[in-house]
Amino acid sequence: MLYYSLNRSSEKLDFKQATLKGQAPDKGLYFPERIPRWENEFVNNLKYLDKYEIGYQVMKPYVGECIPEDILMQIIKETLSFELPLHQINENIFCLELFHGPTLAFKDLGARFLSRCMGYFSKEQKRKTIVLVATSGDTGGAVADGFHHVEGIEVIILYPSGKVSPVQEKQLTALGGNIHAIEIKGDFDACQRLVKMVFADEGMQKNVSLTSANSINIARWLSQQLFYVLAYSQWHDKDTPTFSVPSGNFGNICSGMVAERSGLPVNQFIAACNQNDVFTRFLKTDRYEPLPSIQTISNAMDVGDPSNFSRIIELYGQDINLIKSKVCSFSASDNETKRTIEDVYKTYDYILDPHSAVAYSCMKTWQKDNPNKKGIILGTAHPLKFPSVVKELIKNEIEVPEKLKILMQKEKKAILLNDSYADIKNTINNIIDYNPA
Q: Where are the domains of the chain?
A: 1-34, 35-81, 83-102+224-394, 107-215+400-437
Nearest to 82 by CA among 54, 51, 56: 51
Contact between 118 and 211 under an 8 Å Cβ cutoff? The reply is yes
- Average pLDDT over the chain reads 92
Task: Using CB atoms within 10 Å of the CB of residue 99, give its burial: 0 to 12 exposed, 13 to 18 middle, 19+ buried.
Answer: buried
What is this structure's pTM? 0.90
Q: Which pLDDT score, from 0 to 100, does residue 113 have?
A: 96
3-state secondary structure of 53: helix
Cα distances (angstroms) measured from residue 413 to each of 172, 183, 186, 385, 419: 9, 10, 18, 20, 19
In percent, the amount of the chain with pLDDT more than 70 equals: 99
DSSP-assigned letter for residue 121: H
User: Is the pLDDT confidence value at 82 over 60?
Assistant: yes
Q: Which pLDDT score, from 0 to 100, does residue 437 have?
A: 42
Q: Which pLDDT score, from 0 to 100, does residue 434 have?
A: 53
Q: Which pLDDT score, from 0 to 100, does residue 422 have?
A: 94
Nearest to 100 by CA among 409, 401, 350: 401
Nearest to 171 by CA among 352, 403, 402, 416: 403
Q: Which pLDDT score, from 0 to 100, does residue 85 have?
A: 98
* Predicted confidence band of residue 385 (pLDDT cuts 50, 70, 90): confident
Fold held by 83-102+224-394: Rossmann fold (3.40.50)
Contact between 265 and 233 under an 8 Å Cβ cutoff? The reply is no
User: Is the pLDDT confidence value at 233 over 70?
Assistant: yes
DSSP-assigned letter for residue 353: P
* Predicted confidence band of residue 13 (pLDDT cuts 50, 70, 90): very high
How far is the C-alpha of 302 from the C-alpha of 297, rounded, in Å?
9
Contact between 298 and 355 under an 8 Å Cβ cutoff? The reply is yes
How far is the C-alpha of 229 from the C-alpha of 259, rounded, in Å?
7
Fold held by 107-215+400-437: Rossmann fold (3.40.50)
Tens digit of pLDDT for each residue in 351-361? 999 999 999 99
Tens digit of pLDDT for each residue in 22-59? 888 888 899 999 999 999 999 999 999 999 999 999 99
In percent, the amount of the chain with pLDDT more than 90 equals: 70
Crossing angle (nearest 10°) for helices 225-233 and 251-262: 60
Q: Please state the rounded mean pLDDT for residues 62-77.
A: 97
End-to-end CA distance of the chain: 31
Question: Residues near 212 by Cβ (< 8 Å), separated by ≥ 6?
Answer: 22, 23, 131, 132, 133, 195, 199
Q: Which pLDDT score, from 0 to 100, does residue 151 have?
A: 83
At residue 266, φ and ψ (nearest 5 deg) are: -140, 125
Tens digit of pLDDT for each residue in 159-191? 988 888 788 899 999 999 999 999 999 877 788
Q: Please state the rounded mean pLDDT for residues 184-209.
A: 81
How far is the C-alpha of 20 from the C-alpha of 208, rounded, in Å?
12
At residue 154, φ and ψ (nearest 5 deg) are: -110, 135
Q: Which pLDDT score, from 0 to 100, does residue 402 have?
A: 81
Q: Do domains 83-102+224-394 and 107-215+400-437 have the same CATH topology?
A: yes
Tens digit of pLDDT for each residue in 390-427? 999 999 988 888 878 888 899 999 999 999 999 999 99
How far is the C-alpha of 269 from the C-alpha of 432, rounded, in Å?
44
Q: Please state the rounded mean pLDDT for residues 259-263.
A: 98
How far is the C-alpha of 341 from the C-alpha of 423, rounded, in Å?
43
How far is the C-alpha of 243 from the C-alpha of 93, rounded, in Å?
10
User: Is the pLDDT confidence value at 225 over 70?
Assistant: yes
Phi-psi region of 117 (alpha: psi -120 to 50; beta: other; left: phi over 0): alpha
Contact between 5 and 28 under an 8 Å Cβ cutoff? The reply is yes
Question: Residues near 180 by Cβ (< 8 Å), separated by ≥ 6?
Answer: 154, 155, 156, 157, 415, 431
How far is the C-alpha of 326 from the C-alpha of 324, rounded, in Å?
5
Percent helix, strand and coil across the chain, each to the nearest 5: 45, 15, 40
Q: Who wins on pLDDT, 143 or 23? A: 143
3-state secondary structure of 416: strand
Q: Please state the rounded mean pLDDT for residues 298-313.
A: 89
Written as one string, the DSSP assignment of 354-415 is HHHHHHHHHHHHHHHHSTT--EEEEE-B-GGGSHHHHHHHHTS--PPPHHHHHHHTSPP--E
User: Is the pLDDT confidence value at 373 over 70?
Assistant: yes
